[in-house]
Chains A and B, each alone.
Chain A
Amino acid sequence: MAFLACKPAPKIIDDLSDRSFQVVNQNAEPVTFPDDYKGKYVIMGFIYTHCPDICPLVTQNMIKVQKELGTPDDVQFLGVTFDPKRDTPEVLKEYKTVFELDKNFDFLTADSTTISAFMDSVRVRSQVSFSTTNEYGEKVYFMNHSDKIMVLDPKGRVIFEYGGSMTPVNYIVEDLGTVRR
């Protein structure tokens, strides 16, 4: 009884259950977010693959959480790009390959309009910060962006949010442990 009393319902930060975003994963398979993940906890970070420093830290933190949890089937990990122009499914597939990620770890992208709406719904901001010219004379741009990882419950509701790159992994694992049965 006392044990049950220790599992209070977490505060709902955002309810995404009535949203429906048509996106694709790194295999170009259609995904409806969040419907296709209902019934699972979702740990979701926001990245762009041209970011070599902060975004890989976000990805690494999610990898650590997954390992810490023992790669459970009831927890889905998602990296969602806010740079759909460059982060095509093919690019995301390569990104996933290079990190040697598990099957329950997917990357999502979509057309720019859908991604903008998606990012608005999760309060993730991004903007082009500066560009540089590569050896071919092409402009390569970089982005300022929110640094965030969030946890959704099996009903598609945001229940925890963290700074994505610097939050100690044990915080996320412990919080998830308070609600996951």
Chain B
Amino acid sequence: MKKNFFLILGILLLTSCTKPKKKKPEINPENKLVNWARPGVQGQMSGAYLVYRNELSIPDTLMKAESPQANTTQIHESYITEDGLAGMREMKQIIIPPNADLVLEQGGLHVMLMNLKSDLSFDDTVHVTLTFSQAGEKNVHVPVKAPN
């Protein structure tokens, strides 16, 4: 009887100590957001994210981005360097295939709003003008949101 008790106890301990399998990594839900910008402080940085569809039957090229709310606006890309660091680089031109989306999202391409002219608070709207080689100027308005 005593022997059985210790056998059952041992099984219980072993099974209860098995580390539960971790869930499959989820795509962070914020990456699913489209058309939004981060809050930011005057003089500092923010990022704007959006999806633009090239509806032309020919390739188009994003040449530049501008915003009246930032002193400098560029297209940047976040990437992982060869030695494993998180880095960022300016993208001068981005080619978009015909009938394809240009996706600007967290952790990837984004509109870099530098030296903000005023604070960007929740529910403000950021105005961005994208200039394409074929489609010309396109105005996009994105709300300032908390992505979480």
Q: Interface on A for B, CB 8 Å cutoff?
A: 1-3, 5-6, 8, 49-54, 56-57, 60-61, 63-64, 67, 91, 94-95, 97-100, 125-127, 129-130, 132, 134-135, 140, 142, 144-147, 165-166, 168-171, 174
Question: Which of A3, A130, A168 is B26 in contact with, Cβ under 8 Å?
Answer: A168
Query: Nearest chain-A residue to B88 (Cβ)?
Result: A142
Query: Nearest chain-B residue to A63 (Cβ)?
Result: B148
A147-B86 CB under 8 A given contacts A52-B110, A98-B39, A174-B22: yes
Q: Is the CB of A170 within 8 A of B23?
A: yes
Residue numbers in B under 8 Å from A5 (CB-CB): 13, 16-17
Least CB distance from A21 to B in Å reads 22
Residue numbers in A under 8 Å from B54 (CB-CB): none
- Bound: A5/B106 CA distance, A: 41
A170-B26 CB under 8 A given contacts A52-B47, A129-B89: yes
Query: Nearest chain-A residue to B30 (Cβ)?
Result: A60
Q: Is the CB of B45 within 8 A of A165?
A: no
A132-B28 CB under 8 A given contacts A56-B47, A98-B39, A170-B23: no
Residue numbers in B under 8 Å from A147 (CB-CB): 85-86
Least CB distance from A108 to B in Å reads 18
Interface residue? B12 (CB, 8 A): yes
- Bound: A125/B80 CA distance, A: 13
Question: Which of B23, B107, B114, B120 is A134 in contact with, Cβ under 8 Å?
Answer: B114
Q: Which of B55-63, B68-76, B94-102, B126-134 contacts A (4 or more CB under 8 A)?
A: B68-76
Interface residue? B65 (CB, 8 A): no
Least CB distance from B27 to A in Å reads 9
B:71-122 near A, CB below 8 Å: 71-72, 74, 76, 78, 81, 84-90, 106-107, 110, 112-115, 119-122
Q: Is the CB of B110 within 8 A of A144?
A: no
Q: Is the CB of B88 within 8 A of A57?
A: no
Residue numbers in A under 8 Å from B139 (CB-CB): none
Most buried by B among A53, A54, A146: A53
- Using A49-B45, A165-B107 as known contacts, list a sample of 4 further A-B pairs with CB atoms less than 8 Å apart, ordered by residue number in A: A52-B38, A52-B45, A165-B86, A168-B23
Q: Is the CB of A57 within 8 A of B39?
A: no
Least CB distance from A77 to B in Å reads 14
Question: Contact size class for B?
Answer: 35 or more
A98-B86 CB under 8 A given contacts A53-B78, A174-B22: no
Q: Is the CB of A145 within 8 A of B107?
A: no
Interface residue? B46 (CB, 8 A): yes
Least CB distance from A162 to B in Å reads 11
- Bound: A67/B146 CA distance, A: 14
Q: Is the CB of A168 within 8 A of B28?
A: yes
Q: Is the CB of B44 within 8 A of A94?
A: yes
Residue numbers in B under 8 Å from A126 (CB-CB): 85
- Bound: A146/B30 CA distance, A: 21
Q: Is the CB of B106 within 8 A of A57?
A: yes
Question: Which of A1, A50, A174 is B45 in contact with, Cβ under 8 Å?
Answer: A50
- Bound: A135/B121 CA distance, A: 23
